[in-house]
Structure 1
Amino acid sequence: MPKANEQKRRVVSALGAVREKLGMVLGAAQAGRQIAEAELARLQLEQQVVRAGIDAAAGDENLAAALRHPVMAGVRDKLDAQRNAFYADAATVPARLRDLVAQAASGPASLPPSAWLGRPGLEPLTPPPLWRIGSSTMDNSGPFPVVVPLLDDSHLAITTAPRTRQAVESLIEGLLLRVLSSMELGSVRVHLWDVAQLTAVLPNLYPLSRTSAVTLYDPDQLGVLLDEVTGHIRRIHAQTMQAGHTSLRGLRDQLGQRIEPWRVVVLFGNGETWAAEPLRELKRIAGAALAAGISLITVDIPTVLAGSFENIRMLGEHRAATSMTGPNLVVDLDQPIPSAEVSAAASRLADALVEKQGGPRSFRDLLPAELGQENSARELRAPVGFFEGDPVEVVIGDASPHALIGGPSGSGKTNFLYALLGSLAARYPPDELALYLLDFKEGVSFAGLAPGRRDASWLPHARLIGVNVNTDREFGLALLRFLADELRRRSAAAKEHEVTDLAGLRAQDPGGHWPRIVAVIDEFQYLFAGRDGVTNTATALLEDIARRGRAQGIHLILASQDIAGIDAFWGKPAVFEQCTLRIAMPKARRVLAETNMAAVAAPKWHAVVNHDSGVAHGNQLAHVPDASSKDIFSSLQRELWERYAQEHQRPRLFDGAHSPLLEHSGAFTALTPGGTPRALLGQSIDVADTACEVELTGAPGRNLAVLGTAIAEALSIMDAAARSLARQYPRHEVEFLVACLVDRCAPAVGELADGLEADGHRVVRLSDVELGEHMAKLAEEPPEHARILLLYGVDGALPLLEQKSPGQLKSGLDHFRLVLKQGPGKGIHTIGWWRSTARLKDTLGFAGTDDIGAWAALDVQGSELSQFAAGQVVHWSPRPGRALFFDRSTHVSPEVMIPFDRPEHPS
């Protein structure tokens, strides 16, 4: 029992302790609740007093009684203290705002109009971020300026109220004039569009519309404006991304200079929602425009747009609310500048801009202050003209590797090419830039760039100059083959150095010679004038160079009067797709994109320069100064020649209108006695200045046949062969047996024979009657020295050669055939002229054509030559001054050559 009582006592004691603790907790909770309720009541009372106003609360009986309650003691004191602290701090806000505006909105951005109106500004690299529109006040603390961001920082959206349109126009005019007077002339361009006003979009700014500073758009031109803005954004985005930046501001800060003008696009709406397509375009523009240096000012366009926007909501004619100041402060807008003063200021700015841009620029304005200071490792960049005083550049590099230039006759295409070549040559030395220039039309566009009789200077950058080659499509093909070979050479070097482009190759191989190559082919469509092997090969080569040339610094500039006439590329757009740089002269067709009609409206002496494959947003109009008139380009050429000529060879000049002289051929002047004799026949149509030649070895068939009735060309080939061979033999060590069976050629042949004798060589003149007898001697007697048979009009001697005297087993023709077959092995070579392929076949008989190892055909159709070219189909249409040459030992297929000019001397 005692034990049970003890347990009961402990339980009762524990329960009592629990009751005590619970009472304490509940009491604390009750007290806490009372405190919280009292604090809530105090806060609610504070809120009521603040809403009513501290001073007004004293006159409210209910609030006054509440404030006198003992629990609310101190509420009034607290609110008085906070009010006093607020007003003490607020009193400093206007001064601080004024200081901030003075720093962030300096000069015309915040000063009164009297300090800047109508005065051109100087360009800061970064424009002011804030621009004044009015002022506001907070209680009795004094006014402070109200500013809004623009240009690189924000767009601006304005919402009107009834009868506030004029006030909004004045507001925008004031903002735009502040901008135009803060920035350098020409660095800001304004675009104005109004959905409802046909001729009165900010009319006080109209004087600026005669310059690039202000452009006006009719109500139905919204699509045109949006397309232009979209094009600017795309072009600038590509430009900045290529430089490794996300915005134009970043690129500008890196370069330390302005590279694009700022643009302000003002769009006046009427409160109605736009159609779906232009609205989508505007939303896309708003999100990307600031990064491209484009700001929007929209009026009554009830759409939420992307990007950073500040808002101005008109409350009356001179009052507004802004997102910068919040809804509780009213902004008093600055007084509008009187219309007459706005118009006068716009006129002064327009005059100053026109004066700054100056009159028409000259070719000298395209040139740098110092010649030859640029490096071409990354790209070629040069101005070709001017737009309102600013230079317009052409860039040739990885992004725009090849160019297409088009313009009808008289549109200034040749002048543009001279402006481009001069601007490039002035900036890049010949070690940085190599030019290959080809003109297919009947003219001498590039002839002045080579040394001539009147001017011995030449353009040191030029490696090849081809003129008057409209009938020599093979020369264009030779240039493409040369470029393809150079492309392979550079690709192999790049692979060896484990790089992928020209810049990398030059960095890894600084001792190598790797200039950028620019090949200009004027009237290039002549390359594809026929449906033949030349066209097929040229097309394939051009496509390959266009695709792969950019990486190795090989660039094509293709020019034509009428691109529409080219059939070779139908269904093969590879070349045109690579020509992202398009230059359209006035009235040019199909150079730009199909929907881009800029060239139609381009004035004379201008060009539309487009680096975006001809799409309209890439258009840049440029006035091209006179670069091709007398003494303009030549003066620059002489400067460059005096600077670089000693270190660089003169360019190779190919003039299709003139036959080359044998004496001027490097192959001829290099001939000396000794070695295997080579008969020179004419000039090869090739990039290198080489001659077509036939080696007269002892191998069977080393004889030459000249085929055709063209007397002048036949005499020229025979003459060149004889004179070049004579140069390779010492005196009296060769005998020329000369037989002329064409009376008209006798004086020329006699002159050649006399010349050979004068040089100390043996010459035997044979008549037609003596020819057969000498053939028998040549076939039967061992030779004492080398002999060359020069036979003119062999077919004329065939009747006599075929005759046999009584008792003879063989005719002269039989002996001649034996000489052709066995003669080369004994040092006897025949160079003969047959006036038809049939007579040559008769001469050779049934032995085939193997005894004629080489031939040069003149006015002979290709179909007649297949039997002499190993049976292959020969594509050849005779043309004056040209011959088709084939040597079995060196040629896969015949090649066109130019016979050397043989001056005719009076007899």
Structure 2
Amino acid sequence: MGKKARQQRGRVLAALDELRTRIGLAMGAARNARAEAEFELATLELERAIVTEGYDRALLDPSLAPRPGDPVSTAVWRRLEQVRAAFGQEWADGPARLRSLVAASAPGPAGEPPGRWLGRVGTDKGLTAPALWRIGSCSASGTKDGSDDDAFDVAVPLLDESHLSITSAPGTRHAVDALVESLLMRVLSTFEPGAVRVHLWDIGQLTAVLPNFYALSRTSAVTVHDPTRLVDLLDEFSGHIRRIHADALQGGHPSLRAMREAAGKRIEPWRIAVLYGSGEELEPEQRRDLKRVASGALDAGISLILVDVPTVLGGSVETISLRDERTAYCGMTGPDLVVDLDPPLPGAQVSAAAGAIAKALVAKQGGPRGFTDLVPPELGKERSTEELRTPVGFDEGDPVEVVIGDATPHALIGGPSGSGKTNFLYALLGGLAARYSPDELALYLLDFKEGVSFAGLAPGRKDESWLPHARLIGVNVNTDREFGLALLRFLADELRRRSAAAKEHEVTTLAELRAADPGGSWPRIVAVIDEFQYLFAGRDSVTALATSLLEDIARRGRSQGIHLVLASQDVAGIEAFWGKPAVFEQCTLRIAMPKARRVLTETNQAAVTAPRWHAVINHDSGVSHGNRVAHIPDASSPGVFARLQRSLWERYASGHGSPRLFDGAVAPVLIESAAYVELAEGVRPRALVGQAIAVSDMAFGVELPRAPGRNLAVLGAAQRPAMSILDSAARSLAQQFRQGEVEFVACCLVDSCAPTVARLTDQLQRDGHKAELVPGDELGERLAAVHAELNDDGTSRVLLLYGVDAALPTLERKEPGKQSGLDVLRAILKQGPAHGVHVFGWWRAVARLKDTLGFGGTEDIGALAALDVQGSDLGPFCAGQVVHWSPRPGRALFFDRTTHSAPEVMIPYALPEEES
């Protein structure tokens, strides 16, 4: 072998030796690493097992206890001893810190021994709740023999903070009851009576749930629920959560607690629901509903305490698991520490304490509240920019409010006769008027039934005061459906006016309009229509137009601050709204008096069981979860509302005039009407014939220019209204002429009318006018004389003919070579108005008027007032229209060819002898 080959072989062997060396080193390192990893894994597993079992218990467990000579056991126990020693040094003042923390978070009855508070009635107003509530104590060492310095109190969160889930152990039901009873008694003893309401449900008990609370179960503080109807309780809570969330979100608050803190007062009581299960799963639907309630309950002031109800709740949940009658594990302390539960409260003392709280609650509520409790200390301090809000009654002493605004724009009130509907309306109106000034609130009040429910709100003979907020008061209008239609037309016009102003200022809501136009007058309008179903009593144009207007106002009124309050004894028979739910859908505020039907939803039977003098207040379109049952105080008895009204009148009357009072049972007085007061000399004369059925005080009149056809015919056999129409026409005309400018020629052909006609003639003469009373047998001659003077353009003349049809036999007689009296009358009717001569005549039958006018003479009657005449007979005198009119006592149908497109109903004025 050559030298070169030997050198090459040597290098190869050296490389192999180096490789073997490195491989050996790597194998050794791997063995060491594996051993270290196995040792670390073993120590971690042992450490986890010891920690899981607990240090003290692991010392007694042969499989975990220290094993001398075992490096893993030695290392783990040495390290745990070091950690324990370090923790001991750090924990030296831990129990003291915990005791201090619990004392600060659970003040008063929430954390103190029961001897300091049990039996005393709480005084906390309920603005905020303690963060923790004591259940027992614990030793930091985890043993019962820990020193006092080593022990600390254990408390759990509840109100506004967390739900509580309690799991019992076999034979510990009485211990669970004691734990729950202690927690509830601490809560009830902290706050003033009424600040907390407890709901008890036990799947295995009908009524005997926490029997020491029996005294409280007779009040609103504790309610025991049917064990077979968990769904009802969950539905009630679901509705409460929706209502609270809606109120809170509307005010810009995330929760009831935030809303309470912003308001600086307790708005709603806390609610605690204690649900006792059997350890078995609830039905799937119940479990789903319970989880849904739990997820939003805390923000709505509801805390759940579940006992042996195995389910996963939404939201924060604290747990307590009983080991035996005296000890438990708690989520607040963890599984390594055993909590010594506080001993049960003495049963006799709990019963006595419950009785004291119940007695204090009844005393605080003071029985039924009075109307004065609805009135705020200071009048008129609220603003209606966003909404109207007032209490109308009380639920266990707490006020129950009605809110009218964008969210609940219109109200539907139902209740049979005698159920207190009128009293509720007075409570509502009184509460609103006391809180809002007339610049913030305008009321339009209409009562269709035969009564004077709202008449006392207008000035009267016994009381000169009025409600300054009222702009219109209509009573006894059950036969005047046109007045309801006039109100709806007025509201529609106001809605258009406000919409135009909003468009001009580029805004959409009343609140924005008031901000953009602070100098404008934009109060919220509330129109109350009692027995509104009368509006739709007939299948005619009134019903059709009222339905259309009401739907439009209900739909668009909310944004412009126009609100409807519709009240009825029974809405079941309103055919006009079958298939047209637009109005009812907008009436999201529902008020159901006892035994009311169809106001709430079909499944909501709260009104059936509501006691007398109560009302179901519902802001959620009548669904059951929105129910609030309130006692309505007496607001309508004599003198009750009047005291508030006088205070408001003294405060506001100087800047707000009295309301327009429309009383359908009382004939209006001519000299008191605005139209009569405004009459003046020197303008085109206008004869007033009756009051218009309108929101404002308006009169119908016949203008008397010198133009053809300006005559008036009164048709019908009803004597009193016929005389009234002619009387008011003559008296109003006399007001517009100077002495000597007008001459009245009266002729009465009905004997029973003679005294009234004579009094009218005497009155005209006393006023300085020329007035002549012509005997019936001289009428023909007088007509001839008037006809002969037609070309005289001087004095105006008015012929007042009472019972013209009675004179026809005489007027029809014709002498040879002469015109008959009837021919002369026809000539005057045709030619007279152009020369200042006008005929105001009363015919007792349509046929007799046609006989008087002859062929083609209907054009000579420019104005018509029909009394007890059917509309089908009036077509020829109403421009050929089909007239829908059925005679009504005290009403007339008026049509003037020059001003009316269709006839309108009017109310004749009272005769002078009736005015007093």
Report the CA distance between 1:32 and its aligned residue.
7.5
Tell me the residue number matched to 1:92: 93
Amino acid at match of 1:876: W
In the superposition, the TM-score normalised over structure 2's length comes to 0.93
Tell me the residue number matched to 2:809: 799
Amino acid at match of 2:798: I
Q: Contact 1:701 / 1:853 at 8 angstroms: preserved in 2?
A: yes
What pairs with 1:765-844 in structure 2 (closer than 5 Å)? 765-781=773-789, 782-783=791-792, 784-808=794-818, 810-844=819-853
Tell me the residue number matched to 1:136: 138
Tell me the residue number matched to 1:430: 438
What pairs with 1:182-331 in structure 2 (closer than 5 Å)? 182-331=190-339
Report the CA distance between 1:757 and its aligned residue.
1.5
Of residues 637, 643, 663 in structure 2, which corresponds to 1:629?
637
5+ residue gaps in structure 2?
none
Question: What RMSD over aligned residues (CA atoms) do the two structures have, in Å?
Answer: 2.8
Tell me the residue number matched to 1:120: 121
Tell me the residue number matched to 2:39: 41
Distance 1:674 1:647, change over 3 A: same
Report the CA distance between 1:316 and its aligned residue.
1.1
Give me the whole-angstrom Cα distance separating, in 2, the residues matched to 1:905 and 1:580.
47
Q: Contact 2:477 / 2:664 at 8 angstroms: preserved in 1?
A: yes
Tell me the residue number matched to 2:764: 756
Q: Contact 2:59 / 2:65 at 8 angstroms: preserved in 1?
A: no
Distance 1:73 1:867, change over 3 A: closer
Report the CA distance between 1:33 and its aligned residue.
5.8
Give me the whole-angstrom Cα distance separating, in 1, the residues matched to 2:712 and 2:471.
34
Give me the whole-angstrom Cα distance separating, in 1, the residues matched to 2:195 and 2:447.
40
1:65 aligns with 2:66: no
Tell me the residue number matched to 2:717: 709
* Greater mean alpha carbon deviation, residues 514-523 or residues 580-589: 580-589
Report the CA distance between 1:816 and its aligned residue.
1.7
Q: Which SS does the other structure have where 2:478 is aligned?
A: coil
* Greater mean alpha carbon deviation, residues 491-500 or residues 58-67: 58-67
Give me the whole-angstrom Cα distance separating, in 2, the residues matched to 1:615 and 1:58.
65
Give me the whole-angstrom Cα distance separating, in 2, the residues matched to 1:100 and 1:587.
55
Distance 1:40 1:873, change over 3 A: same
Q: Which SS does the other structure have where 1:565 is aligned?
A: coil
What pairs with 1:2-81 in structure 2 (closer than 5 Å)? 27=25, 30-31=28-29, 34=32, 37-38=35-36, 41=39, 44=42, 51=50, 63-67=67-71, 80-81=81-82
Paired residues, what number? 899
Distance 1:688 1:30, change over 3 A: same
Of residues 886, 902, 905 in structure 2, which corresponds to 1:896?
905
Distance 1:887 1:48, change over 3 A: closer
Q: Contact 1:676 / 1:695 at 8 angstroms: preserved in 2?
A: yes
Of residues 834, 858, 861 in structure 2, which corresponds to 1:852?
861
- Over residues 57-91 of structure 1, what are the superposed CA-to-partner deviations in whole Å (9 max), with x where a residue is unaligned? 99999943345x9xx99888655433321222344
Tell me the residue number matched to 2:558: 550
Q: Contact 1:271 / 1:302 at 8 angstroms: preserved in 2?
A: yes
- Over residues 610-669 of structure 1, what are the superposed CA-to-partner deviations in whole Å (9 max), with x where a residue is unaligned? 111111111111111111122211111111111111101111011111101111112112
Tell me the residue number matched to 1:109: 110
Report the CA distance between 1:712 and its aligned residue.
0.8
Q: Contact 1:156 / 1:296 at 8 angstroms: preserved in 2?
A: yes
Q: Which SS does the other structure have where 2:258 is aligned?
A: helix
What pairs with 1:465-504 in structure 2 (closer than 5 Å)? 465-504=473-512
Distance 1:807 1:127, change over 3 A: same
Distance 1:905 1:472, change over 3 A: closer
- Percent of counterpart pairs with the same letter? 65
Amino acid at match of 1:349: I
Q: Contact 2:164 / 2:305 at 8 angstroms: preserved in 1?
A: yes
Report the CA distance between 1:771 and its aligned residue.
2.6
Tell me the residue number matched to 2:350: 342
1:868 aligns with 2:877: yes
Amino acid at match of 2:849: L
- Over residues 728-783 of structure 1, what are the superposed CA-to-partner deviations in whole Å (9 max), with x where a residue is unaligned? 11101111121211122122111111111121112233333433333334334312
Q: Which SS does the other structure have where 2:229 is aligned?
A: helix
What pairs with 1:439-450 in structure 2 (closer than 5 Å)? 439-450=447-458
* Greater mean alpha carbon deviation, residues 586-595 or residues 80-89: 80-89
Distance 1:553 1:58, change over 3 A: closer
Give me the whole-angstrom Cα distance separating, in 1, the residues matched to 2:134 and 2:299.
23
Tell me the residue number matched to 2:184: 176
Give me the whole-angstrom Cα distance separating, in 2, the residues matched to 1:483 and 1:241.
31
What pairs with 1:564-643 in structure 2 (closer than 5 Å)? 564-643=572-651
Distance 1:74 1:673, change over 3 A: closer
Distance 1:35 1:226, change over 3 A: closer
Q: Contact 1:718 / 1:790 at 8 angstroms: preserved in 2?
A: yes
Q: Which SS does the other structure have where 1:418 is aligned?
A: helix
Distance 1:677 1:60, change over 3 A: closer
Report the CA distance between 1:339 and its aligned residue.
1.5
Tell me the residue number matched to 1:734: 742
Amino acid at match of 1:892: S
Give me the whole-angstrom Cα distance separating, in 2, the residues matched to 1:397 and 1:698.
54
Amino acid at match of 2:812: E
Report the CA distance between 1:45 and its aligned residue.
5.4
Distance 1:750 1:58, change over 3 A: closer
Distance 1:422 1:57, change over 3 A: closer
Amino acid at match of 1:86: F
- Over residues 533-586 of structure 1, what are the superposed CA-to-partner deviations in whole Å (9 max), with x where a residue is unaligned? 111111111111111111111111111222223222122111111111111122
Report the CA distance between 1:364 and its aligned residue.
1.1
* Greater mean alpha carbon deviation, residues 853-862 or residues 288-297: 288-297
Distance 1:205 1:758, change over 3 A: same
Q: Contact 1:57 / 1:63 at 8 angstroms: preserved in 2?
A: no
Amino acid at match of 2:740: H
What pairs with 1:344-423 in structure 2 (closer than 5 Å)? 344-423=352-431
Give me the whole-angstrom Cα distance separating, in 2, the residues matched to 1:199 and 1:187.
23
- Over residues 814-853 of structure 1, what are the superposed CA-to-partner deviations in whole Å (9 max), with x where a residue is unaligned? 2221211121111111111111111111111112411101
Give me the whole-angstrom Cα distance separating, in 2, the residues matched to 1:852 and 1:12.
149
Q: Which SS does the other structure have where 1:850 is aligned?
A: helix
Tell me the residue number matched to 2:530: 522
- Over residues 267-323 of structure 1, what are the superposed CA-to-partner deviations in whole Å (9 max), with x where a residue is unaligned? 111122223322322222122222211111111222333332222222111121222
1:747 aligns with 2:755: yes
Q: Which SS does the other structure have where 2:358 is aligned?
A: helix
Report the CA distance between 1:40 and its aligned residue.
5.1
Give me the whole-angstrom Cα distance separating, in 2, the residues matched to 1:656 and 1:60.
98
Q: Contact 2:874 / 2:883 at 8 angstroms: preserved in 1?
A: yes
Give me the whole-angstrom Cα distance separating, in 1, the residues matched to 2:61 and 2:181.
47
Report the CA distance between 1:800 and its aligned residue.
2.1
Give me the whole-angstrom Cα distance separating, in 1, the residues matched to 2:66 and 2:763.
138
Q: Contact 2:66 / 2:74 at 8 angstroms: preserved in 1?
A: no
5+ residue gaps in structure 1?
none
Q: Contact 2:166 / 2:321 at 8 angstroms: preserved in 1?
A: yes
Q: Contact 2:207 / 2:224 at 8 angstroms: preserved in 1?
A: no
Give me the whole-angstrom Cα distance separating, in 1, the residues matched to 2:454 and 2:66.
102
Q: Which SS does the other structure have where 1:831 is aligned?
A: strand
In the superposition, the TM-score normalised over structure 1's length comes to 0.94
